[in-house]
Homo-oligomer: A and B are copies of this chain.
Amino acid sequence: MAATLGELAGRFGLTLHGDPGAVIDGVGTLRDAGPAEIAFLANPRYRRQLRETRAGAVVLAAADVADCPVPALVAANPYASYARIASLLHPPALPPAGIHPTAVVAPGATLAPGVSVGAQAYVGPSVVLDADVTVGPGCVLDGEISVGAGSRLVARVTLVGRVTVGRRAIVHPGAVLGADGFGFAPDRDGWVKVPQLGGVRLGDDVEIGANTTIDRGAIGDTVLEDGVKLDNQIQVGHNVSIGRGTAIAAQVGISGSTRIGAGCLLAGQVGIAGHLEIADRVIVLGGTAVTSSIREAGEYSGLVPGTAAAKWRRTVARLHRIEDMHQRLKALEKTHTIGGATRDPDEREQT
């Protein structure tokens, strides 16, 4: 749809520099947007593109207005304001309500008004879908499943076992919620499967990326609180809980029974061991292995940035002998006096 700059400024509480009657009907990048499109500047990396933009308008911070050659919408948070404008201009194309003739909705399923069930989808007998839920093509909902109002399972999503999804959730293709957790008891004759009997509970406004997997709890539930955002190919083990508003990037793995606080950020490929507690507002950098509980907010890392391989091989070879280096250093210190007194390195190490 289209809107004038005046309408956008009014609706989103922005200050307009420019013609309020100019019409915008889409979004674009600073570099590529045309005169009917709106762009934004939030990442300073792209500031040099501002001066040359031909966009119809730019959403930006007050500090950047002077450099903007076209109409500007000044925002306290340009990225969030851009997001809201883009949502207005490009509303998601939702399918109409109704059940596709090739979908299977088992007797016993409860569908509120406005529900859409797409082609080739399967909705089992113990499924409850609240108002305006969209079940996309090829989804499988098989078990005790409840999906809150306005939620959208995009396509080929699988919910099995016992799964409760809150309101306004978005679940992307290939995601699997409610499969068995990895529970086996070692015994003389091998592994004994531990029945996985709990569920998966998602709060409101949760988003789950493509091919992400969230296992059901062993006895209690696996829980994602309101506003949790998961990227693609994340693994959430049984009985994990993730606090309100935490965002997790792709390919992170969270082992069973770990509790993650609210407002955390986990970057890509992080791995978290089981049975840990992670405090609120913890940031973990990409690829880090978390093997003990984190009690305080802050930034944590075990990231080793890659470098030229030949140099790195020498570094690693030396690292594997760091204990030897330490022993040699200690030997030198023992026979050496500093400030007249023999230094005791072991004492120092204990501080």
CB contact under 8 A between A86 and B235, given known A289-B305, A304-B289, A304-B302: no
Q: Which residues of B contact A268 (CB under 8 A)?
A: 235, 253, 255, 271, 273
Highest count of chain B CB atoms <10 Å: which of A232, A303, A315: A232
Contact (Cβ within 8 A) B302 A307: yes
Docked-complex contact A320 and B336, CB < 8 angstroms: no
Q: Among the listed B43, B83, B118, B231, which residue makes an inter-chain contact with A195, where contact means beta carbons less than 8 Å apart?
A: B83
Select A213's contact among B170, B194, B210, B288, beta carbons within 8 Å: B210
Interface size of A in residues (CB-CB distance below 8 Å): 132
Within 8 A of B (CB), among A62-93: 77, 79-80, 82-84, 86-87, 90, 92
Q: Which of A209, A235, A319: most chain B Cβ within 10 A?
A: A235
Q: Are B140 and A173 in contact (CB under 8 A)?
A: yes
Chain B residue nearest in CB terms to A31: B220
Give the residues in chain B near A170, CB-CB below 8 Å.
180, 193
User: Contacts A250-B235, A286-B289, A298-B309 given: A191-B333 contact, CB under 8 Å?
Assistant: no
Task: Determine which residue in A287, A292, A331 has the highest number of CB atoms from chain B within 10 A of its CB, and name it.
Answer: A287
Interface residues of A in 154-213 (CB under 8 A from B): 154-156, 158, 160, 170, 172-174, 176, 179-180, 182-187, 190-195, 197, 205, 207, 209-211, 213
**24 residue pairs A–B, Cβ–Cβ below 8 Å:** A28-B219, A79-B185, A83-B183, A83-B192, A83-B195, A122-B138, A136-B140, A140-B155, A154-B160, A173-B176, A176-B211, A182-B231, A184-B229, A211-B211, A213-B250, A233-B235, A250-B255, A251-B271, A269-B271, A302-B312, A304-B319, A321-B349, A329-B332, A335-B336
CB-based closest 7 A-B pairs = A302-B306, A288-B306, A299-B309, A80-B185, A301-B309, A79-B185, A179-B210
